[in-house]
Amino acid sequence: MGRYLLAVTSTAILLTGCQNSGNLKSQSNDPDAQTNSKSEQVLVQNSASPAAVTPLLNSPRNTDLWSLTREGMQLDLDTDQARIAAQLKWYAGHPQYMQRVGQRSSRYYHYILNRIKERGLPTELALLPVVESAYDPFAYSSGRASGPWQFIPSTAKYFGIKSNWWYDGRRDIITSTETALNYLEQLNKRFDGDWLLALAAYNAGGGTVSKAMRKNRNAGLPTDYWSLKLPRETMAYVPKLLAVAKLVRDAEQHQLKLPPLNNQPYFEIVDIGSQIDLAQAAKMANISTQELYQLNPGFNRWATDPSGPHRLLIPVKNAEQFRQQLAQIPPESRVNWSRYTIKSGDSLSTIAANHNITTSVLRSTNKLASNNIRAGRTLLIPTAQQDSGQYALSASQRLNRKENQLAQSNREKRHYKVSSGDSLWSIARSYSVSPKQIAGWNQMSTKTPLQIGQQLVIWKQPKSATTLSKRDQQLTRRIGYQVRNGDSLYGIANKFSVTINDIKRWNNLENQKYIKPGQQLTLYIDISKSR
């Protein structure tokens, strides 16, 4: 039996032909569920029951995963296209970025490459999470795409990826990888084996690509990827992957030192059989809770989901110790429970809020058919074994860190109650922020309908250079600056005698580390100091 125990259940799903393009990121990998075109029967696999998978990467010739990636490449990386050249220039000009992404992938790359090779797919696909999420399983976009493969909620739901208060399978390494590869295979089949069209469809949707092909066909034009007029993000999306793959293939030529990735599994999949407190599990495995969350990013809270998946990814060197410790602890001792006696005037929602859980969790835990409760009865409430700081990468702790970062940037936190007639655009305008920012702060899409009475968090802009004193305004000029090749925030700040934090604040870049050629920046410069 191999290192990996992969849980799969096969279910047949009927896919239909095309989708509306809509907002690009919110439609980034939406399956074609909104069309009447000819459908095909496909097989979709989701994590459920354990089955053995034999690794195929035990090649005696190569002990390095980058070499194995190069061996399995199938796409044409040498197409003479300006779009590939532009992306390659950017990635090659930012070697630190590639090194950082390579290091971040070290936990997952063996597993993902293994699954891709088992299916006989192009190994370039193992680099797709570089483009989608920079191999960050906690990556989250304003379009509500989440996880290493950046699934949006509608796509996740369509493919049966589980998501609830406890768990989000879009971030689960096993579940998201299996689903992404299934979907990519389906798209490849739909577009008659053309991987570039399949990749474009993964980003923009199959319907968007089919529509562009029909338009070209009717005009007597070619229908290959390079000839299609697609949304701007998709026009760059495929070239990004090809550029990254080309850079990996020709790393020595570009003097790029990729971090070593040995041809050895990083983790084992351990069947735990029941819910378990993640701090307790980390202690049993002799690893930090942060490491456990990095390997099991699908779990949102301080414990695994009581209804599964009942598995944890554990570093290979710690897996046997974890199994031995787990066998000594019965399921009923793996999670702490407190008892709460219902008082007169209590409601299930207030009890849930006071204990930082949801009403649905309370109902399922106590087998309640509705929200009706009676004073004097007792409720069982799941409780973390350690203080919240021990669960470093839980959803609540990630949100706290994000809010602390915003507070440190001098933004003021406001709460806004949605009224009749409000729109995301009108609210954003009144607070001098963008609709995309509000969507990000509230974990929603810019196209999510607002509900009257809904509470929104707004991080109001700090006092900016536009409100300088009259004397300072005479010496200060607002300029637009287009980022050039080779530019960095440090270099631009030095050139215009401003600070990096100023540039980030003026351009809402607090959560971004990098800038790209062609990006437009707003600067407020002191003309007596600028060079």
Handedness of CA 230, 232, 238, 239 (dihedral sign): positive
The span from the CA of 359 to the CA of 356, in Å, is 10
Q: CB under 8 Å to 254, separation ≥6 — which residues? A: 92, 247
Q: Cα separation of 204 and 208, whole Å? A: 6
Identify whether 412 is a catalytic site residue: no
Residue 299 neighbours by CB under 8 Å, 6+ apart: 166, 167, 278, 293, 305, 394
CB 42 within 8 A of CB 13: yes
Which of 124, 132, 178, 268 is the catalytic position? 132
Cα 281 to Cα 312: distance, rounded to the nearest angstrom:
9
**Tokens at 399, concatenated:** 């949100």
The C-alpha atoms of residue 24 and residue 401 are separated, in whole angstroms, by 28
Nearest to 153 by CA among 30, 43, 34, 48: 30
**Cα distances (angstroms) measured from residue 209 to each of 190, 204, 388, 493:** 11, 7, 46, 41
Q: Taken in order 514, 516, 522, 525, is the CA torsion positive or negative?
A: positive
d(CA 103, CA 100): 5
Residue count (the chain): 531
DSSP of 477-526, one letter per residue?
EEEEEE--TT--HHHHHHHHT--HHHHHHHTT-TT-----TT-EEEEEEE
What separation, in Å, do the N-terminal and C-terminal C-alpha atoms of the chain show?
Answer: 66
Task: Give catalytic residue positions.
Answer: 132
